[in-house]
Chains A and B, each alone.
Chain A
Amino acid sequence: MNTVNAEWIKLRTLRSTWWTMGIAVLVALVLTALGAGAVISRWDPGQAPGQAAMGIVVAVYVGVILAQLPLGMLGVMTISGEHASGMIDTTHVATPAKSRVLLAKAVVLAGFAIIGSLFIAVPGYLYGRAVAAEFNPSALPADAWPVIGGGTLMIVVTTLLGLALGALLRNGAAAMAALMAIVLLLPFVARMLPWGDWANVLLPTYPALQLIEQVPDIMPTWVAFTVLGGWAVVPLIIAALVGRR
């Protein structure tokens, strides 16, 4: 708990944290509002209240995952910044168990990413309901939860993957490049390959997009959640094991 406290103080005492979070939330909110407005304007008048509520949730979570790169960058910088300044030594003198430091950073960042996603999702949802008032959207339908869970998980995964890559590569620019390659570049390349569907099942982006209903289903929902969650957990375990040496 002490380590988590210390990491939370570290995160919140840097202005760059708030700039990153502020810009991420603001940009995502604007795009969510524009996106939701555009989607709703194309609905036919017969849209059922349940469908309307679902449509709003989907539009909102498309907006939420737009904040993933700034938050991934925050994950990278949380550790690569300490390697760059050398402050990581002070951290390890205070807390010799390196894996505990990494875990504490992960806990703090995951909480921060979830709260960030809510700062986008809640106002976005309320705005969507206001714009779609004429369709009388219902309360949250049951099939909205995988969308909410998937979108939230995607943003947490990108943040923690950033942390793991920062811990492994110790260099901010290299870690950021690796993060973009995994999240953006590889899925794009995979689409052009004959075995692309397989690569897509294994990479984090397709499962996330499937969960927020942006691509056709190619795997069961539980597989999508597992693969996505694995991209948060496995790289962190590898980073913890490599850090032991």
Chain B
Amino acid sequence: MRYNEKVLEHYRNPKNVGSFDEQAENVGTGIVGAPECGDVMKLQIQVNENNHIVDARFKAYGCGSAIASSSLATEWIKGKTLDEAKQIKNTDIASELALPPVKMHCSVLAENAIKKAIEDLQRKKAKDNNK
């Protein structure tokens, strides 16, 4: 596969690699994909008391575009509110990275990982409020 420079840059120097404590109250974790399909992404968000995403982390098992899509996703969501982050579409990621059609699913995974991380955080907060 011939990749464009943006994918290569994220692949070579991925942003926000790592993990937060999954148990922390201000952390939401989204894990999507399947090893049998060749892609697994873990994306985590950390929020402040105003529900602004102050930091993000990812780990990805998958091809170069899977790594680039998740690296880009973490860059984009930092500083956004949860509602703003939810608006990020896979097509935005795909067009920023100029992904070919056969790699579109990588951007879909990144979008889903963001949504799952937000859902996870909101579930934690709801539980908290019910205490």
Instruction: Tell me whether A and B are bound partners.
Output: no
